[in-house]
Structure 1
Amino acid sequence: MKKSSFVAMIMGTIGGILFAIGMCMCLLTEWNAFTPGIVMGGVGLAVLLAMVIVWRRMEGIAPIELNGKTIGTVLLGIIGALLLGVGMCLTMVWNQLIFGIIVGIVGIIMLLSLIPLIKGLR
């Protein structure tokens, strides 16, 4: 295993755990820890962002360009993931099976469209 992959794995694990615990602190009202959860989630996101920067620098890859395509791709991924999650909630929590399946499928299609958008078609 390359050193850059190992560093990315460790930082990704730490950042993911901090973000997940922060989200649990925010969303579980029984814990009564909304403000500390926001802080912990923010720290987790900062570690994950630092992981991307450190990994790209260790691999000798150029920094990510912020242009219209990059921003659009990120927004498409965020919206697709949110639609998939809302579809799951509609189906499992709010007992709206048909509408939840439709919303979830739209989210899956949006996430699948990221592959040809990023990699292109040949």
Structure 2
Amino acid sequence: MNSIDTWPPWLALVIAGGWALFVVAGVICCVYLGHCRLNALKDALKNSGYIYLWGPCLGRRGWIWSVMEITKNTAMIMMPKTHIRLGDLDSSDYAIFPAGLKRLLIVDFTLMIFSLVWMIIAAVLIKFR
């Protein structure tokens, strides 16, 4: 296996730091969902425990909190069995969740997972150079 030090500089830079581009895209996606789609998300999950507890203050604490709230809601929709058991998600809300909003959450989840996998691969390549 070739060392990363022998690769062209542009390729090494893309492999070692390209994941950051997907992190930025994921944050932008979360900010968009938090500012433009939060009310639709709260309406779709109105019977869920998480929205019942945190609903009044969702979207009112700044953009960093908005990103964390959208990340939590994305995890609730992408891993429903776990969150139904925890009481954060109501199974009837999940059954009638809007398809368009679910697609946006899938895009956000895909960006998060893809950037995490790329980051792990880059770390392994740099570690064993």
TM-score (norm 2): 0.33
Relative contact order higher in (CA < 8 Å, ≥ 6 apart)? 2
TM-score, structure 1 normalization = 0.35
